[in-house]
Amino acid sequence: MEYNTKGKVLKKAVVWRDLYFYRKSDAIYQLTVDFCHRFLPLYGDRTVDQMVQAARSGKQNIVEGSEDGQTSSEMEIKLLNVARGSLQELRSDYLDYLNTHHLSIWPANNERQQRLRVFCHSHNDFSDYEPLVAKMNDEEMANLLLTLCHQTDKMMCAYLEKLEHRFVTEGGIKERMHAARTGYRQEVDARLRALEAENLQLKARIKELEGLLGEIGKPRKV
């Protein structure tokens, strides 16, 4: 006898490589490595390690959070928030760089910033930016990365809002396991009740047939 339960314990796996904010975070990481190599001292400056590690932490925690999300919604939300924190730290480093080097932080109404925002919105991969950055100076590249960090954070916030809503309505793995077990028991109980009803019907039919056979076996009056 087979039973099918409607409840699912494990969530559908997320293909993190396809997430737009992961692809942007990977571009941020690779662009940050390039920025540090071009514009910061390779030795004796802890800022390089801090920026590269913050950028790497952003993308890696998205990967780990998405992988862990199959079994733990809580861990997925936690790690994605860690990723957000790392990218916010990186944004702060770029702002510090622009300020300490007396370079401009492009405001929202700046024409170059508006064009940059439109381009970043529709381009997610490092390969989209690689041909451009060789021609950029440090001010242009830092503002590019500030824009990418900001857009990635906004996308992650929207994604986290959906995850949190799902967690509230569906619960974590414990709640899903309980729902699956409950669904299984309910299906088994329903099947047993159906079998009991079918058994009673068969008994009644057998009794009816026995009565008919008894009538047939009686001698007829002449």
Q: How far is CA 168 from the centre of its chain?
A: 15
Mean pLDDT of 164-192: 62
Residue in the structure block whose two tokens are 């906004």: 154
- Is the pLDDT reported for residue 164 higher than 90? no
Domain presence at residue 9: no
**Structural domain harbouring 35:** 16-170
| pLDDT at res. 123 | 97
Q: Tell me which of 17-21, 55-59, 183-187 is least confident.
A: 183-187
Residue in the structure block whose two tokens are 């401009």: 104
Domain presence at residue 197: yes
Q: For residues 84 and 179, what is the distance between their CA atoms, to the nearest angstrom?
A: 32
- Is the pLDDT reported for residue 219 higher than 90? no
- Is the pLDDT reported for residue 15 higher than 80? yes
Q: Which of these three, 149, 170, 191, is where a domain ends?
A: 170
Residues 159 and 53 reside in one and the same domain: yes
Residues 182 and 117 reside in one and the same domain: no
Domain presence at residue 103: yes
Residues 96 and 195 reside in one and the same domain: no
Mean pLDDT of 185-214: 73
- Is the pLDDT reported for residue 2 higher than 50? no
- Is the pLDDT reported for residue 111 higher than 70? yes
Residues 164 and 204 reside in one and the same domain: no
Which tokens in the block code for residue 125?
């991969």
| pLDDT at res. 1 | 38
Q: Which of these three, 127, 154, 170, is where a domain ends?
A: 170
Mean pLDDT of 134-149: 97
Q: For residues 103 and 35, what is the distance between their CA atoms, to the nearest angstrom?
A: 15
Mean pLDDT of 154-180: 74
Residues 87 and 181 reside in one and the same domain: no
Domain presence at residue 166: yes
- Is the pLDDT reported for residue 94 higher than 90? yes
Residues 127 and 137 reside in one and the same domain: yes
Q: How many domains does the chain have?
A: 2
Domain presence at residue 7: no
Please say whether the beta carbons of 62 and 163 come within 8 A: no
Q: DSSP code of 30?
A: H
Residues 181 and 108 reside in one and the same domain: no
Amino acid at 212: L
